[in-house]
Amino acid sequence: MSRYAPTLVRLIGELVRLPGIGPKTAQRLTFHLLKTGREEALALAQAIVELKERIRSCAVCYNISEGEQCPICADPTRDGSVLCVVEEANDLWAIEKTATFKGRYHVLGGSLSPLEGRGPDQLTAKALLQRLEGGEVKEVILATNPNVEGEATAMYLSRLLKPLAVRATRIARGLPMGSDLEYADEVTLSKALEGRRDV
Amino acid sequence: MSRYAPTLVRLIGELVRLPGIGPKTAQRLTFHLLKTGREEALALAQAIVELKERIRSCAVCYNISEGEQCPICADPTRDGSVLCVVEEANDLWAIEKTATFKGRYHVLGGSLSPLEGRGPDQLTAKALLQRLEGGEVKEVILATNPNVEGEATAMYLSRLLKPLAVRATRIARGLPMGSDLEYADEVTLSKALEGRRDV
């Protein structure tokens, strides 16, 4: 590695900081960018620069946005009586892809994680409560991730919502479609049993 | 996907063009860059720009280089009587990492591949022959990849070298260290038998 040109070492170093990119992949990508056309490589660099310059968070729901409001908040056809609370903007897009939810969103900006120093003040929970003051929202769906931090965050939010005249629900945790009971982990299986419904 | 901000779609599109990066990874990397500090993201963009601006190929061996000559060609302690011919600069670095080769290199810039339109003129074979004219080089090690294109390229070069007073050798093809005869493919195993040596 020491014999690489410093410019290469630097790019490899920057790439390794990305999630899921190890030293080998970083090296392969660097050599690819070296071989690739000047225009294509610079287009990538430019796209990164513009990402940081153009993207901000929606003033209403904290979704990523290029304007003051994100496309979903700006869409008058969305149902304002249901609010889906997610941790990050990519969770929002995952739900949007299902094309089954027609309500609005609220992006928390993460989950409660004392270990990583993220408390309630790091989340947009206060803004969520302010949005509920109008009285338009009838249901808040807590769609944080079904892991330790996400569950704790949902629990925390449900307590915040309790005094308000709003229904708080949590997305179902159970066996994923197409999976096998035999290979399911105990926690998922017990959640699936716990969440059973009449057919 | 259509609901993403155009700036995001653009970066995802640029990332997907990289080898080994699918749509999911591109999306994950984009959201990571979105969350990451402005400085870190811009450092990556800048590193890509500098890669394309600073790096050129060594005037002697076509290795990647920041100056007129690469560090290996500029190193007077390297043995000029042995020339190791590789397809790409990353092959060169793979050999350098073994720290067992003290000679010099020649980077072909690829392999012969009629299907991809790469003939002898796309390689630096002519420059290789010119380097041999001085008479200093006594042995040329053909270290192209042990695949169809690499073997064809080695064959082609060995014919070019035949009339010259230089020894042409090919790296050994056989079972990789730590592997198992049982699981070796037939071609590798037959090459290993073919290349057997006295002990």
pLDDT single digits (tens) B58-82: 999 999 998 899 999 999 999 999 9
Q: Are residues B91 and B132 in the same domain?
A: yes
Task: Report the CATH number at residue A45.
Answer: 1.10.8.420
Q: Are residues B124 and B79 in the same domain?
A: yes
Residue A175 placed within a domain: no
Residue A197 binned pLDDT confidence (cut-offs 50, 70, 90): confident
Q: Are residues A144 and A79 in the same domain?
A: yes
Q: Which of B30, B32, B55 minimises the CB distance to A7?
A: B55
Structure confidence at residue A143 (pLDDT): 93
Tell which of A16, A21, A27, A34 to mutate to test the B interface (max B CBs under 10 Å).
A34
Segment B103-118 mean pLDDT? 92
How close, in Å, is residue B138 to chain A by CA atoms? 25
The pLDDT of residue A4 is above 70: yes
How close, in Å, is residue B92 to chain A by CA atoms? 11
Nearest CA in chain A to B27: A90
Percent of chain B with pLDDT over 70: 98
Residue A198 placed within a domain: no
Q: Are residues A46 and A83 in the same domain?
A: no
- ipTM, 2 decimals? 0.71
Percent of chain B with pLDDT over 90: 63
Residue B64 placed within a domain: no
Percent of chain A with pLDDT over 90: 62
Helix H or strand E encompassing B142: strand B139-142
If one compares A114 and A199, the residue with the highest pLDDT of the two is A114
Task: Report the CATH number at residue A113.
Answer: 3.40.1360.10
Average per-residue pLDDT for chain B: 90
Q: Are residues A79 and A164 in the same domain?
A: yes
Q: Are residues B131 and B81 in the same domain?
A: yes
Q: Are residues B24 and B82 in the same domain?
A: no
Structure confidence at residue A3 (pLDDT): 64
Residue A161 binned pLDDT confidence (cut-offs 50, 70, 90): very high
Structure confidence at residue A196 (pLDDT): 82
Q: Are residues A92 and A160 in the same domain?
A: yes
CB spacing of A42 vs B52 below 8 angstroms: yes
Nearest CA in chain B to A65: B5
Residue B96 placed within a domain: yes
Predicted TM-score of the model (pTM): 0.70
Q: Which residues pair with B105 in a beta bridge?
A: B84
Which chain B residues are closer than 8 Å to A118 by Cβ? none
The pLDDT of residue B120 is above 50: yes
Number of domains in chain A: 2
Segment B173-197 mean pLDDT? 84
The pLDDT of residue A72 is above 50: yes
Q: Are residues B93 and B141 in the same domain?
A: yes
Q: Are residues A82 and A164 in the same domain?
A: yes
Which chain A residues are closer than 8 Å to B72 by Cβ? 3
CB spacing of B27 vs A72 below 8 angstroms: no
Residue A68 placed within a domain: no
Which chain A residues are closer than 8 Å to B11 by Cβ? 44, 47-48, 50-51
The 3 state secondary structure assigned to chain A is CCCCCHHHHHHHHHHHCCCCCCHHHHHHHHHHHHHCCHHHHHHHHHHHHHHHHHCEECCCCCCEECCCCCHHHHCCCCEEEEEEEECCHHHHHHHHHHCCCCEEEEECCCCCEHHHCECHHHCCHHHHHHHHCCCCCCEEEECCCCCHHHHHHHHHHHHHHCCCCCEEEECCCCCCCCCCHHHCCHHHHHHHHHCCCCC
Structure confidence at residue A2 (pLDDT): 52
Q: Are residues A98 and A30 in the same domain?
A: no
pLDDT single digits (tens) A61-70: 999 998 899 9
Q: Which of B20, B46, B54 minimises the CB distance to A25?
A: B20
Q: Are residues B47 and B118 in the same domain?
A: no
**3-class DSSP state for residue A79?**
strand
The pLDDT of residue A77 is above 90: yes
Residue A155 placed within a domain: yes
Residue A134 placed within a domain: yes
Structure confidence at residue A93 (pLDDT): 87
How close, in Å, is residue A190 to chain B by CA atoms? 30
Nearest CA in chain B to A94: B1
Residue A133 placed within a domain: yes
Which chain B residues are closer than 8 Å to A101 by Cβ? none
Show the domain range for B49.
6-54
pLDDT single digits (tens) B77-92: 999 999 999 999 889 9
Structure confidence at residue B2 (pLDDT): 52
- Rounded Cα distance between A150 and A166, Å, is 21
CB spacing of A5 vs B45 below 8 angstroms: no
Residue B1 binned pLDDT confidence (cut-offs 50, 70, 90): very low
How close, in Å, is residue B52 to chain A by CA atoms? 6
